[in-house]
Amino acid sequence: MPNTDSKRKMPDDLKRCVRFHGHICPGLVYGYRVAKEAIKLMKLKRAVDEEVVAVCENDSCAVDALQVLLGTAAGKGNLIIKDFGKNAYTVLNRTKRQAYRFSRKTRYNYKSKDKSTFDRLETVVAAGTASENERRKLKRLKMNDLLARPFEEIFTTTEVSFNEPLYAPLAPSEPCAVCGEMTMAAKMVKLSDGRKACIPCSQERVSREA
Ligand SMILES: [Zn+2]
Ligand SMILES: [Zn+2]
| Domain CATH for 53 | 3.30.1330.130
Pair (99, 185) in one structural domain: no
- 132 located within any domain: no
Q: Mean pLDDT for each 10-residue chunk of the chain (210 residues)?
A: 54 96 94 97 83 92 96 90 89 92 78 78 91 92 89 93 70 87 88 92 72
CA of 199 to the centre of ligand 2 (A): 7
Instruction: Determine the distance separating the centroid of ligand 2 and the alpha carbon of 72, expressed in angstroms.
Output: 30
Domain count for the chain, please give it. Answer: 2
In a domain, 126, yes or no: no
Distance CA 69, CA 16 (A): 9
Look at residues 117, 108, 73 and name the one whose alpha carbon lies nearest to residue 87: 108
* Residues 179, 148 share a domain: no
Position 130 in a domain: no
Is the residue at 118 inside a domain?
Answer: no
Q: Which pLDDT value is given to residue 113?
A: 64
- Cα 104 to ligand 1 centre (Å): 17
Is the distance from CB of 92 to CB of 99 less than 8 angstroms?
yes
Question: 0.85 exceeded by the pTM?
Answer: no
pLDDT value at residue 1: 43
Give the span between the Cα atoms of 30 and 35, in whole angstroms: 9
Distance (angstroms) between ligand 2 centre and the Cα of 82 equals 27
164 contact partners, CB below 8 Å, separation of at least 6: 92, 94, 97
Ligand sitting nearest the alpha carbon of 196 = 2
Say whether both 65 and 149 belong to one domain: yes
Whether residue 93 sits in one domain with residue 56: yes
The residue segments making up the domain with residue 44 are 4-112+142-160
Structural domain contains residue 31: yes
Ligand nearest to the backbone CA of 24 = 1
